[in-house]
Structure 1
């Protein structure tokens, strides 16, 4: 392999091989294992999501490259172990895409989206059975972000009929869970007990979002960005007025927050 290869993927694989070379490679890259680079992979995925939200093409391209490098890194580790390489990874996903899209690559025809989605889920269930994942909630990664994992758990349970009939019923469940938090709080419950009850509230909110067709992880990311934008605007506005932000009272802070919100609504 040649690090000057004109083919971008071959060049990237050659660079990765050089980084892992026992003689002249990079000590940090040589020391890594499949487990130790997982945190970096997750970090790169989050940075890509943030770049996509920002809509800057150059940044998106750069973050996609960082994430691709993580795949190439794991592929190299698999190749060294004799388990798989990048070609195996590409072949596996290509086969799966063809298999899961019989209406595109085969003769299957679906009358509507619901029928197509049912066929998709049936194909996925068949693949899980082949991997000896027999139970409904098998193979849902523990390392997923909590909101995303809650959504996946609920979707999987809904496939076998364990679900609410409508969003209104879920909203009622949220109110019930909030009352339970309030009850435990009034009893002076320990933090662990309160955490358990608050977790139930969050789980129910994820369920409500699912019934409304909203991805909770995406929604919360948006709210995080909105809060950060407004908070920074509060600090800027206070500074422009000669106020020491850290010394403002709660009433003054709330007034600033309301002012920023009003200015955004006028702008939009």
Structure 2
């Protein structure tokens, strides 16, 4: 603990120096809005390291993410709003408040009960902040699939939900038909609206299947990238470039790569 405290103290001093009169011009020019995109980027890089099970990269990326917390806290301290210690105290108090079965007398029999108690505590906290309504307090800049899941999970808590995954699939078929009907007209705003409805329903389908929609899409992205690189490698092994082939030949390479994966 002493080592961690010392390292954190050093980091706070480094940031204070960077933001000071004799510090780095770039760091001194930043504000909350300019730093926020980096904060989001670093969080995704942490998730990427976890997904790749790369603990060396994870250590580095967690440091980058911690720097973002320190950076925001330092800017707030300069304005007299709060400092890093206040941030740490606030989250510590929140963890104690949200875990009465660990730090209090409450008893939890299973994870489901704990999750329900967690949501009830969060609702109480939102009410205390006068955030009124079932959907209150959800950040608008969450990844769209994540926010769609959270919105409908909140709605489901008061009974506004499909009964099962089959019902969601029926809704998906309905939305697909509506998109097909708009294709002939070709109006971009209508197409965007109908495609958005389809994506929203797909996020709900993932929720009903107890799957993470964002993780599912990341997996699909990785699979496509892996197979496309395999196509390029197969074409190179034939002494050609993939771009030199027509679509039928590219499809042949795609099928070959898929067959190789399945065989493996």
TM-score class, shorter = over 0.9
1:40 is the counterpart of 2:38: yes
The answer for the alignment partner of 1:265 in structure 2 is 262
The answer for the alignment partner of 1:164 in structure 2 is 162
1:94-243 → structure 2 map (5 Å cutoff) = 94-186=92-184, 188-243=185-240
In 1, the alpha carbon distance for the partners of 2:219 and 2:135 equals 28
In 2, the alpha carbon distance for the partners of 1:58 and 1:31 equals 31
TM-score (normalised: structure 1) = 0.95
The answer for the alignment partner of 2:7 in structure 1 is 8
Q: What RMSD, in angstroms, separates the aligned Cα atoms of the two structures?
A: 1.3
In 2, the alpha carbon distance for the partners of 1:84 and 1:135 equals 28
The answer for the alignment partner of 1:18 in structure 2 is 17
Q: Secondary structure at the match of 2:34?
A: coil
In 2, the alpha carbon distance for the partners of 1:85 and 1:92 equals 11
Q: Secondary structure at the match of 1:173?
A: helix
In 2, the alpha carbon distance for the partners of 1:31 and 1:156 equals 39
| Partner residue of 1:251 out of 206, 231, 248 | 248
Alignment coverage as a number of residue pairs? 261
Structure 1: which 5+ runs fail to align? none
Structure 2: which 5+ runs fail to align? none
In 2, the alpha carbon distance for the partners of 1:99 and 1:258 equals 54
In 2, the alpha carbon distance for the partners of 1:189 and 1:238 equals 36
TM-score (normalised: structure 2) = 0.96
Which moves more between the two structures, 123-132 or 112-121?
A: 112-121
In 2, the alpha carbon distance for the partners of 1:199 and 1:222 equals 21
In 2, the alpha carbon distance for the partners of 1:127 and 1:184 equals 44
Q: Secondary structure at the match of 1:64?
A: helix
Structure 1 residue 6: deviation in Å? 8.2
